[in-house]
């Protein structure tokens, strides 16, 4: 079998949720497991986190229904809300909570006659300008849901922070002020903090928080921030060296021969590429860990393979273990080299990469929501 795989430590995810809880002890946490739990396997992650959280958050109804079909019966919050009026009834009957972020969605909910009241969250746009109700329409939306009796009495008012990962930005304090103005007098529980809010902005800790990226063991800050939280790395993207050859100074490697050796060099080939989600634009010099030593990627990333310079690791050869990212090589560092973010690398793993879940009462390998 091909040696490339993602090894996921489910006990580390549970630990990281505990870190979020300790940082904001007055808040309830809804772990975000959208996009196949950021590439970590939504079903296995849901099973691991459900005993420790009042609900789990997905991006869309499709993801929530897939988890229901996989046997996950825990409350699920759909962050983008319903795509049609029919989604409202399905959500209420299935124990799916809906984030209502558009006047049309509020009208759908208010007009639907339900046997079981809907658990509704309302999102207000405080400056990100992506999703959310206009702040001055929030009281009318709350009143419409209350008058229709479609929703449970205790709705949650939410917003999303645009720049909390920039710890020196004023955008977060401006959004918080706008949110406080919009929710004044409503006397409803609130949800503001994402991962960066939990880690760096204590004033955003409300009755409910929504940790995402931090669950998977990674700090979201893009500049120098507070001391690192005691997060545990969760995923190791692992492989092995499958070929080694020696080339002379001046010889090239890979498509286009864009990288050329400046000395006699030992080149190792690793069976991972952009067909697996490894970043196509990772340049030569991007770190790859072989036999416990960081070595540079050389040449262009292809669909099925990368090449690395093993010249300074004498004991590396065919079969040597490889860490593309993980406990010893941060996905953030790899992403920075490739001009992207760790979120994209984790969520971008393709179905060709098997996910091996460990450290919990898991069912072994998982991929997506099967």
DSSP codes joined into one string, 228-294: PP-----EEEEEE--EEEEE-TT-EESGGG-EE-SSSEEEEEES--TTTT--TTPPTT-EEEETTEE
Percent of the chain surpassing pLDDT 70:
95
Crossing angle of helices 138-148 and 103-111, in 10° steps, is 10
* Angle at CA of residue 177, ends 225 and 160, nearest 5°: 65
- Mean pLDDT, range 94-108, rounded to an integer: 96
Tens-place pLDDT, residues 157-168: 999 999 999 998
Q: What pLDDT, in 10s, does the model give residues 194-252?
A: 999 999 999 999 999 999 999 999 999 866 556 567 999 999 999 999 999 999 999 99
123 among known catalytic residues: no
Predicted local distance difference test score (pLDDT) of residue 207: 98
pLDDT at 370 over 50: no
Q: What is the mean pLDDT of residues 345-367?
A: 80
Give CA separation, 54 vs 29, 209, 275, in Å: 7, 11, 36
- 349: tokens are 């793993």
Pick the catalytic residue from 34, 123, 200, 213: 34
Domain regions of the chain by residue span: 10-216, 235-366
pLDDT bracket for residue 364 (50, 70, 90): very low
Least confident among 2-6, 227-231, 297-301: 227-231
Question: What's the whole-number mean pLDDT along residues 345-361?
Answer: 92
- Residue 284 reports pLDDT greater than 90: yes
Position 68 confidence tier, pLDDT thresholds 50, 70, 90: very high
The whole-number pLDDT of residue 240 equals 98
276: phi then psi, degrees, rounded to nearest 5: -105, -10
Active-site hit among 38, 232, 255, 278: 255
What confidence tens digit (pLDDT) does each residue in 105-132 have? 999 999 988 888 899 999 999 999 999 9
pLDDT recorded at residue 179: 98
- Residue 165 and residue 224 in contact, taking contact as beta carbons nearer than 8 Å: no
Task: Give per-residue pLDDT as tens, 262-274.
Answer: 999 999 999 999 9
* d(C-alpha 88, C-alpha 93), whole Å: 9
**Residue 255 known to be catalytic:** yes
How much is the pLDDT for 361?
61
How large is the average pLDDT for residues 249-265? 97
Tell me if domain 10-216 and domain 235-366 are identical in fold: no
Which fold does the domain 235-366 belong to in CATH? Answer: Lyase, Ornithine Decarboxylase; Chain A, domain 1 (2.40.37)
Q: Which CATH architecture has domain 10-216?
A: Alpha-Beta Barrel (3.20)
Confidence band for 294, pLDDT divided at 50, 70 and 90: very high
The confidence score (pLDDT) of residue 150 equals 85
* Beta carbons of 52 and 237 less than 8 angstroms apart: no
DSSP symbol at 101: -
Mean pLDDT, residues 136-156:
90
pLDDT given at position 365: 47
Work out the average pLDDT over 23-36: 97
- Residue 369 — pLDDT band, cuts 50, 70, 90? very low
For range 296-324, the mean pLDDT: 97
User: Which of 13-22, 48-57, 291-300, 355-364 has the lowest average pLDDT?
Assistant: 355-364
How much is the mean pLDDT over the chain?
94
Write the pLDDT tens digit of every residue in 82-95.
999 999 999 999 99
């Amino acid at each position: 079998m091909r040696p490339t795989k993602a090894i996921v430590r489910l006990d580390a995810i549970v630990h990281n949720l505990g870190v979020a809880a300790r940082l904001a002890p007055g808040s309830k946490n809804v772990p975000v497991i959208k996009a196949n739990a950021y590439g970590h396997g939504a079903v296995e992650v849901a099973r691991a986190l459900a005993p420790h959280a009042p609900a789990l958050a997905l991006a869309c109804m499709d993801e929530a229904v897939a988890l229901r079909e996989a046997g996950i019966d825990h409350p699920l919050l759909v962050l983008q809300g319903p795509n049609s009026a029919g989604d409202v009834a399905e959500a209420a009957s299935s124990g799916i909570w809906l984030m209502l972020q558009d006047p049309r969605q509020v009208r759908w909910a208010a007009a639907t006659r339900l046997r079981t009241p809907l658990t509704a969250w309302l999102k207000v746009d405080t400056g990100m300008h992506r999703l959310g109700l206009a702040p001055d329409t929030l009281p009318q939306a709350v009143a419409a849901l209350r008058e229709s009796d479609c929703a449970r009495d205790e709705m949650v008012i939410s917003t999303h922070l645009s720049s909390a990962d920039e710890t020196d930005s004023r955008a977060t304090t401006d959004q918080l002020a706008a949110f406080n103005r919009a929710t004044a007098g409503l006397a409803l529980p609130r949800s503001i903090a994402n991962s960066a809010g939990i880690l760096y902005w204590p004033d955003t800790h409300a009755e409910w928080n929504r940790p995402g990226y931090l669950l998977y063991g990674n700090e979201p800050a893009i500049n120098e921030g507070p001391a690192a939280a005691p997060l545990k790395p969760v995923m190791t993207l692992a492989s092995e060296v499958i070929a080694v050859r020696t080339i002379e100074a001046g010889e090239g490697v890979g498509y286009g021969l864009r990288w050329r050796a400046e000395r006699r060099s030992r080149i190792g080939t690793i069976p991972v590429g952009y067909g697996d989600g490894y970043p196509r634009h990772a340049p030569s010099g991007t770190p790859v860990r072989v036999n416990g030593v960081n070595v540079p990627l050389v040449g262009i990333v292809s669909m099925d393979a990368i090449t690395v310079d093993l010249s300074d690791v004498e004991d590396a050869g065919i079969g040597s273990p490889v860490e593309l990212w993980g406990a010893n090589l941060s996905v953030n560092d790899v992403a920075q080299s490739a001009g992207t973010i760790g979120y994209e690398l984790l969520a971008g793993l393709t179905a060709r990469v098997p996910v091996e879940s460990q450290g919990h009462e898991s069912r072994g390998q998982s991929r997506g929501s099967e």
